[in-house]
């Protein structure tokens, strides 16, 4: 069986992303949100060009961004979903993070790249679990959840 949390890091960022730490963060977020195994989720750490192209191709926004989430579960209020094999594994989707954008944002926020990566993994996983920030009340709910999880996972 494939790992519950698979991680892919572009060659140029190998050694800069603590893959085991990112896996633990993803697992902790999923556990805190009541997701039990077996599940599958992918974390991808890549360059800004790739993330921008994905943002353009899948969201129609030709602009850079820090994190994208490609979910496979049905969205609230819709009947859209991907068919899953009848093997009992919950396939959540994929979180794609721009490592260069992460470094840039960490510098702007005056904290470590690792803390920013943690926040982006939390943010992306919450998107996979149907959290959103399009409307003000959604944004408040998601931001509150992110802050709560960040305090648990990144004390200090």
Q: Where are the domains of the chain?
A: 5-153
Closest to 131 (Cα-Cα) out of 120, 142, 121: 142
pLDDT of residue 12: 95
pLDDT tens figures, 83-105: 556 677 878 999 999 999 999 99
What is the distance in angstroms between the CA of the first residue and the CA of the last residue of the chain? Answer: 36
Which residues partner with 71 through β-bridges?
93
pLDDT tens figures, 28-61: 999 999 998 889 999 999 999 999 999 999 999 9
Q: What's the rounded mean pLDDT across residues 134-147?
A: 87
CATH number for the region 5-153 comes to 3.40.390.30
């Amino acid at each position: 069986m494939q790992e519950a949390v698979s991680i892919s890091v572009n060659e140029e960022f190998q050694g800069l992303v603590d893959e085991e730490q990112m896996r633990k963060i993803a697992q902790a977020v999923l556990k805190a949100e009541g997701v039990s195994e077996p599940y599958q989720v992918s974390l991808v750490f890549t360059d800004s060009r790739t993330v921008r192209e994905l943002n353009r191709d899948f969201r129609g926004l030709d602009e850079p961004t820090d994190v994208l989430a490609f979910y496979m579960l049905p969205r609230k209020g819709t009947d859209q979903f991907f068919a899953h094999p009848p093997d009992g594994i919950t396939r959540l989707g994929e979180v794609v993070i721009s490592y260069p954008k992460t470094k840039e944002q960490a510098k702007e926020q005056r904290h470590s790249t690792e803390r920013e990566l943690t926040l982006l993994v939390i943010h992306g996983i919450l998107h996979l679990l149907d959290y959103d920030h399009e409307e003000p009340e959604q944004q408040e709910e998601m931001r509150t959840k992110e802050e709560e999880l960040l305090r648990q996972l990144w004390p200090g």
